[in-house]
Each structure stands twice: as C-alpha cells, then as structure tokens.
C-alpha cells in the first residue's frame, strides 16, 4: 500500500487580533490537506477546540489522542488518518516521564508534560499494518529529549510484530544532536532499524521551523523516521503558502512510502 505520511506542528495560537491566529490560518490548513491528501498526519500543539474544528473541516479523517494534561486538557499529539483507506486496530498514549502512565507527569527537567501518541492502523486495501508513533519533545531540556526518545524506543519493542513502524514529530533538536544520536543507540540491535538513511537525509531537509517567516536555510527539528521494511518513495518539506498564508510556523514534513501486506 502506498501511504503519504505527514508530521505537522500546527501551532494553536488563538490570541485576538493576531495575524497568525488559528482562525486566520484554518483555510490555509484545509487547503494544504486538499492539495497533499495525506493518509496519516501526526500533529503537534493542537488543543481540543482546534481538533473539533478540524473534524468539521476534514470529514474524511478520524483521529486519536489525549491532552498532555489529561483528558481534553492541554496540547495534543493527535494522529489523524483517512478512515476511507485505513482502519484503527488499537491506539494509546504515554507520557515521557518516569511514570509514563500518569497523565500530566513530567521528569528530567522538562518544561511541561510531553506525550507520545501511538496508533496501529490497517490498510483496507491489502491488510498491511503500520504502527505510528507521534511525539513532541521538550523544548528546554536536552536530557528530557534523550530520555523521551529512549522511552519511545522501548515502547516500540512491544509494537505489533506484523506492522511496520513510523516515528514522527517535533523533536526540538537538529539531526546531529545528542538526542537523535541517543535514539540511534537505543534502536541499535533492535528489530526496528529506523535511523540510518533517515537522518542522512535530515541534513538536506533544511529548516522546518520558520516562525511564519518562510525561511528555508537552517536545520530541521521535525522528522519522519520509518522502519526498514518500508520503501521510501519521496521525502520533502512543503514550504508553499496556501491561500496566501503559511499554514503554521512549522513547515509540514512529508514522506511517501510503500508498505507490503503480511500473512496473518
């Protein structure tokens, strides 16, 4: 099955009279979805009210997630998926802390609670499976980023053995940083060879956070990493304006892959 994956920090800014407020960008966000037609989107920073609006504007998508402060409170690392192409088999969330099952928990000098949402999805076309991990790592503590990625890597070892694995999100770290190198070490020798060529490409991606300025030169902090059984067809950063606006202060990162059906 051919899938288009997107990691997209959408920025929930809703301050009145702010030109970059969510309400002023929602048409650009919808235009991005209409143009790219992604199958799976890992989002960061959305609040519940943003997700409610997205539900109305994007009726072909379903989503899973929970606020980082528990329930509907706080920012989500929600995963959207096309319900006409994919069926949800299972999903969950854990906190990047010493107590990952405790809502709103944080550790390792993290500025705020951080989460990872995962979803096990199955193709309605060929029964191929993919397990998505979507996260937003801490912006302050590099220790929290290292520990958070190690925790995610450990969780991946419990993933469905019939599924290919995807890790996406806003890592708040460049490709050659200690957190991503630590992820390489955590994944080394595991059944999920996710790093290698994924990060080699990272050097060529350029800036993914641009602060609504449209800059391209710089280093990425948003990524999509895929397991070895996925054939990577294309990877790019979408720097286009839609409806005359940038959809967010981060560019969407896009990866097109082929998955294979499995024998059950």
pLDDT exceeds cutoff 80 at 50: yes
pTM over 0.75: yes
Is 71 domain-assigned?
yes
* Domain presence at residue 157: yes
pLDDT tens digits for 145-181?
A: 999 998 998 899 888 988 999 999 999 998 778 877 7
* 127 in any annotated domain: yes
Instruction: State the angle between helix axes of 178-187 and 142-156 in degrees (0 to 180), rounded to the nearest 10.
Output: 20
The 3-state secondary structure of the chain reads CEEEEEEEECCCCCCCCCCCCHHHHHHHHHHHHHHHCCCEEEEECCCHHHHHHHHHHCCCEEEECCECCCCCCCCECCEEEECCCEEEEEEEEEECCCCCCCCCCCCCCCCCCCEEEEEEEEECCCCCEEEEEEEECCCCCHHHHHHHHHHHHHHHCCCCCCEEEEEEEECCCCCCCHHHHHHHHHHCCCCCCCCCHHHHHHHHHCCCECCCCCCCCCCCCEEEEECCCCEEEEEEECCCCECCECCCCECCEEEEEECCCCCC
CA angle 95, 97, 100 (to 5 degrees): 45
Give the tens place of pLDDT for each residue, 171-228: 999 877 887 777 765 554 444 445 444 544 555 688 999 999 999 999 899 999 888 8
Q: What is the dihedral of CA 103, 101, 189, 222, to 10 degrees?
A: -10
At 225, which CATH number? 3.60.10.10
Answer whether residue 263 is part of any domain: no
Residue 144 falls inside a structural domain:
yes
| 101 part of a folded domain | yes
Q: What is the mean pLDDT of residues 70-94?
A: 98
Is 17 a member of any domain? yes
Number of domains in the chain: 1
Range of the domain at 143: 2-258
Alpha-carbon distance of 1 to 259, in angstroms, equals 5
Determine the average pLDDT of the residues in 236-255: 95
Can you state the angle between helices 22-36 and 48-57, rounded to 10 degrees?
Answer: 40
Q: What is the pLDDT of residue 196?
A: 40
Q: State the first-to-last Cα distance of the chain, in angstroms, to the nearest integer.
A: 16
Residue 264 lies in a domain: no
Q: Is the pLDDT of residue 8 over 80?
A: yes
């Amino acid at each position: 099955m051919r899938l288009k994956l997107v990691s997209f920090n959408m920025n929930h800014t809703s301050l009145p009279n702010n030109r970059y407020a969510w309400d002023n960008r929602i048409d650009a966000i919808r235009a991005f979805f209409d143009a790219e037609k992604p199958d799976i989107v890992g989002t960061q920073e959305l609040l519940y009210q943003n997700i409610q609006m997205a539900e109305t504007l994007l009726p072909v998508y379903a989503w899973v997630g929970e606020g980082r402060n528990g329930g509907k409170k706080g920012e989500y690392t929600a995963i959207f998926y096309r319900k006409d192409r994919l069926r949800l088999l299972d999903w969950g969330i854990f906190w990047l802390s010493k107590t990952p099952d405790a809502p709103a928990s944080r550790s390792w000098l993290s500025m705020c609670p951080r989460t990872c949402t995962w979803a096990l999805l199955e193709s309605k076309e060929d029964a191929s499976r993919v397990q998505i991990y979507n996260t937003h790592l801490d912006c302050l503590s590099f220790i929290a980023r290292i520990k958070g990625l190690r925790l995610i890597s450990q969780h991946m070892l419990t993933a469905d053995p019939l599924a290919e694995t995807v890790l996406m999100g806003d890592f708040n770290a460049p490709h050659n940083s200690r957190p991503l190198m630590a992820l390489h070490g955590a994944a080394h020798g595991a059944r999920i060879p996710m790093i290698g060529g994924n990060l080699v490409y990272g050097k060529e991606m350029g800036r993914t956070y641009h602060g609504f300025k449209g800059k391209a030169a710089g280093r990425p902090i948003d990524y999509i990493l895929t397991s070895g059984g996925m054939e990577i067809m294309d990877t790019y950063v979408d720097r286009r304006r839609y409806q005359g606006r940038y959809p967010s202060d981060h560019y969407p990162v896009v990866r097109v892959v082929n998955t294979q059906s499995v024998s059950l």
